Chains A and B, each alone.
Chain A
């Protein structure tokens, strides 16, 4: 009952006319950016952050939540139309979405993606509404030691679940933490790694790093891989209508994958990619016509789409209740919130209920917008994909620059952006995952602060991290998350030798 009252309060905020405009603008812009191959939700969010500078925190986050949803849906659109998933979370959608588009059924696949996203999003919002306050109550008892352990777990989980080398993931995470502590140490006033320049006294802003290693690096990567000149042919959209039997066919997979997706999203590091693959493989196993998966089965579009949207909502749980993002995307969202002066965590439910419940309500509204307004506009929005690639790449560069300059008014930051763009390109070329770096960058200084506070309370006794059961459990899980993939690798290697 309390949740329902709170939700009504949230709707009161989300339904304010300006906030409605923001939700729609967010969903619309997110769809467009997410649709561009290579630019996923992280880039979309980073590009939109400058727009939130002058906004109320609740309005800013409402806009960002819309961008997030829109970007995921936009990613599905390019997966279906071009077989070019904007993000890893929509790769599974392309398995059946693109074959459907090749059969002239792109409109159907897009409509299924939208319906599945809507249902997945809506079911998971209900779960979020129920789970988040409960988890928030548990999190109130967390001290610095538990927070430190939780952040270590968040980082190791993201590293271990990335599809790239574990060592490279850890290197990316360590470098992210290193960047985060540049500047004045707030506890002692000591300068660290400022290289004697005034520009680094306040540290490096996460937006510079996020836009550099995601958006700018993506432009560089496209130039390097010859994406500058050629455009991919796009399949025609066709009708968006679904028959009754098709709706009946996709309903159960959507329901199952939504629940699965939500709980996958809650786990740190798992998120939309794993959620969508799990949803897809579960339905492939359960379906009687599983052998047609990969050849244009509508259930193969519905399941990953419901799961990835539900996982996106699920990933808000650790962010909003614990203040610890579980993915690169929610890390960028956390960064945006910090810029707006809001610190997510258990206290947010009490201190800023307008932000918390406003965002939850705006998710409902964003989902409805996605379905009612965005879907009919898809044939129009898809024309963006016809935009000449050279022009598009040049425009993305300007969006990055204006984002950074508009935030800091610093030429030095523009040059830093270029530096991080080149670092991001190097990371892509040499197989270093980028999500751990951005997550570590956001968490690094909070992690250090928690560690130092915990040690201050314990009088310098390091056993404080092991003496507390929750902290110990979290650290054990963190250690397991790193060692299990190694053990698995060894077992596979041994089996291959036998």
Chain B
């Protein structure tokens, strides 16, 4: 059996998404009064169009720049946590943690920790400059949002 190319794998995933979307479209309840177009028509059209496009994508050959990038020997030699994909995963986890801690710890603490921590993790080693920049930018943003634009940001335990 020949191996599926990138477009074919993507096409299968998109087709599954379209099928799920269509299944939900068929469950949209009808409006009690008769109307020329009900709430479910547009989603059904979109679902079928996406399914058709997934079919076309299955038949399309991937472009040269659309083939996944293979890690170089240099990248493979890096410690696991510093490899490019690890950086993306850790950044995503840090953002998720930021979202969950924003209210309990407050904007200033979480944001400063995020900027300082990630910049350090990405390889910036001047701790003093890092902390001063992180805290400075976050404080300016905080004051701009809360004092100038009247936008509330969580304060957390800090008496701001």
Contacts and interface: CB of A to CB of B under 8 A. Distances in A.
Contacts of A393: 118-119, 122
Contact of A390 (B37, B66, B92, B124): B124
Interface string A270-305: 000000000000000000000000000000000000
Interface in B51-86: 53-54, 56-57, 60, 62-63, 65-66, 68-69, 75, 84-85
A452 B65 CA distance: 40
A405 B111 CA distance: 12
Interface string A390-415: 11011101110110011001010011
Given A53-B151, A398-B115, A456-B36, A390 B122 contact: yes
Interface string A414-425: 110110011001
B35 interface: yes
Contacts of B16: none
B84 A397 contact: no
Given A167-B53, A390-B119, A397-B118, A228 B37 contact: no
Interface residues of B, number: 69
A285 B98 CA distance: 54
Interface in A455-479: 455-456, 458-460
A178 B25 CA distance: 11
Given A167-B57, A411-B99, A406 B111 contact: no
A167 B119 contact: no
**What is the predominant secondary structure among interface residues of chain A facing chain B?**
helix
A228 B87 contact: yes
Contacts of A174: 46, 49-50, 53
Contacts of B85: 224
Given A223-B88, A224-B87, A389-B122, 7 more contacts: A171-B54, A187-B39, A223-B87, A393-B118, A394-B116, A397-B114, A417-B95
Interface of B: 6, 10, 14, 21, 24, 28-29, 31, 35-39, 42-43, 46, 49-50, 53-54, 56-57, 60, 62-63, 65-66, 68-69, 75, 84-85, 87-88, 91-92, 95-96, 98-100, 102-103, 107, 111, 114-116, 118-124, 126, 129-130, 133-134, 137-138, 141, 145, 149-153
